[in-house]
Every structure is written in structure tokens, then in C-alpha cells.
Amino acid sequence: MEPYLTAEGASGVAGSKRDSTAQLARDFAQALANPNIAVACSIVAAALADGASPGRVYVDVVRPALRAAAIRGQLRQTRLLDGFGQTLIGDLVGALTPTEGGGSGRTALLTCGELTMDRLDGNLVAAFLEADGWSVQRMHGPEAALAMGPASRLDGIELAVVVVSDAEAASHLASACTEMSRLPDPPVCLLCDFTGRADWPAASSGLGADALISDPQELLEQAAHRLPAGGTRRWGVSVARRDDMLVLTPTGTLDATSAERLADMIQSRIGSFIRLVVDLRDLAEISAAGIEAIVGWSQSGPLQGVELLLVGDAGVQARITALGLAVPLADPALL
């Protein structure tokens, strides 16, 4: 059987991953159309054995073919589609490589839609997370995503994952993401859409999630990258541009560590702004070390010459004063 999704073709010379992916998709779809479930499974198994990415196999090959077969009525019984999907998910999970610093000992909150393909996406995400060590709590029903904010207040929830398949459904999540970001220990909020729609990034720009995920393996990588080591307080930040102004809105705890992370984010953007605004109003906790680190940005290093403004209301000003600091705050109307 031909190898798929590898940098080299069957002869070992340079080949095209895109062509290989397309051929795998055609072979899998044809086997499903016959229908020959055993052959379809063997095609996926062979591709995984050849080193294909489990996440890309699902997004580029398995999901489109299953959806098309369901629409054509070739897999009329939901039980058959679910059963076949679970078999394939098991094969994909078996080919995963655990991420460094995965979810062992950590809890994730997951919600997805109730339609068959949405449910299959949710099952896949749950299986990938569990294979990476996460304990997954699932919420069901069309309004489940809106209940994620209150549910994420429970101790131990470090990751909130919402699986959606259309922009309209995703648009209802903005308030939930905002609510979660303002918790003292905000969970990382990741939005998953595996449909491959080209318009999705533009449609999702205002949702407030930490990241948009289009590949289930990327979900594991993003969770590992965005979460601090165990026992460390969590934080988040939103970034916005307004002409020549860069606006950072951190959430969670502002301490020396999170201030350093904010500085790292700015490094790649230096030269593209002349005014830097840090909006402190969404922070649950503020430390003197965090404020002093931010104030120091404009006094040394590459941010010299950049106008730095800290924005806050009367409540933020009172908290900073209580720390024994005299730091002037700009009016929120600036934003």
C-alpha cells in the first residue's frame, strides 16, 4: 500500500504532502462509498503506520468523508456512524505522541453540539485529551457552552474546550469566554472547529478565546504551551491594535512571572507601535512586583522611547495604592 502524508513518496524521493493527502482522502472516501468499512479502516491504519499526523488524518481525510457519506445517506444509522467513528478514533489515538508536560493530573471542561458530526468531534477531542493525561468533564446540550463560565469556577478546571462547527454557534460564546477570563485562576479557553472553513478566522476574531484550533493535535500542543507548570497561578491576555497603539489586557494574576510573559509577547511586535497601553481592569490579583516590572519596560531595553500608559478605574487605583505604589493611571476613555 502506498505511504501517505509523508515528505517522501513511495520511492523515497521528494514528493508532495498535499498530493499524498488528496490521494489518501480519495481512497478512504471510495472505500466508504462502496461501502467497505474494513478497507476504510485499513487505509487509515496504513497511513498512520507510515507516520501520518493523526490530527491531519482526521481533519483532512476522515471527517470530510464521514460527513459526505452521512449526507448521502450511506451511513443512515447513527449507531453505525458512531461505532465506525469510535473505531477510527481509537486508531488515531493509538498513533499519538504524548506532548511534553501534558495534562497528567489536570482537568479539562469540554462541550460540543448534539448533532452527529459535532458529537464525533467532541468524542475525538475527549479521546485526544485523555490520551495526553487529562481528566475530561463533558457538558452536553445546546446551551452547555453558555454554562461553561460558572462551571469553570470549580476547583481544578484548567482548560475549557468548546467544539463548534459553525460561526453562528461560536458567536454565542463571547460572553462565556469573557466570564472565564476574569476568574482569579482563569482556565485556558480553546475553540475547536475541524470543518476547514476559510472564513472561520475572520468570523471568530471577537470571541475572546485564547486560541482557535483547527487540528486536534494542535489542541494538545496549545494546552501544554499556554498552561503554566502545576501549582502556578494562571493568566491570560488579549491583544488589540488601534492605529499605532498596541493594547494588552491581562487577566488572572499580574506578578513578576506574568509581566515577563507579557514582555515576551511585546518583543515580536517592537517597531510596529509607538504607544503601548496595558489595561489593568480585568485582573483578579495585582502584585507590586508585577506593576513595577511593567513600569520598568519604558525605562530600559527596547521599549525606551515608546509611550507607556497603564489604564485602570478607581478600583484598580485603590488596589495599586494599597500596595504602596504611586503609579498614575490613564482614563479608560482612552480606549
Query: Of 114, 303, 209, nearest to 278 (Cα)?
Result: 303
Query: Of 57, 55, 43, nearest to 1 (Cα)?
Result: 43
Weakest-pLDDT range from 43-47, 161-165, 255-259, 326-330: 161-165
CATH superfamily of 107-226: Cobalamin-binding domain (3.40.50.280)
Mean per-residue pLDDT for 15-23? 70
Mean per-residue pLDDT for 196-215? 67
**Residue bearing the bigger pLDDT, 316 or 209:** 316
pTM over cut 0.85: no
Contact 275, 262 (CB under 8 A): no
Identify which of 77-86, 193-202, 277-286 has the greatest average pLDDT. Answer: 277-286
Mean per-residue pLDDT for 34-49? 88
**Banded model confidence at residue 323, pLDDT cuts 50, 70, 90:** very high
CATH superfamily of 235-334: STAS domain (3.30.750.24)
240-265 pLDDT per residue, tens: 888 889 999 998 889 888 888 888 88
Residue 8 pLDDT > 60: no
Residue 224 pLDDT > 60: yes
pLDDT of residue 208: 66
Residue 305 pLDDT > 70: yes
Mean per-residue pLDDT for 85-112? 86
Assign 127 to helix, strand or coil: helix
Residue 301 pLDDT > 90: no
Residue 194 pLDDT > 70: yes
Mean per-residue pLDDT for 8-35? 69
pLDDT of residue 16: 53
pLDDT of residue 35: 74
**Banded model confidence at residue 49, pLDDT cuts 50, 70, 90:** very high
pLDDT of residue 159: 87
Mean per-residue pLDDT for 190-210? 68
User: To the nearest whole number, what is the mean pLDDT of the chain?
Assistant: 79
Residue with C-alpha cell 491581562? 250
Weakest-pLDDT range from 135-139, 227-231, 300-304: 227-231
pLDDT of residue 264: 81
Contact 247, 240 (CB under 8 A): yes
Tell me the residue ranges of DSSP E strands in the chain: 107-112, 135-139, 157-163, 188-192, 211-213, 235-242, 245-254, 275-279, 283-286, 307-311
Mean per-residue pLDDT for 147-157? 62
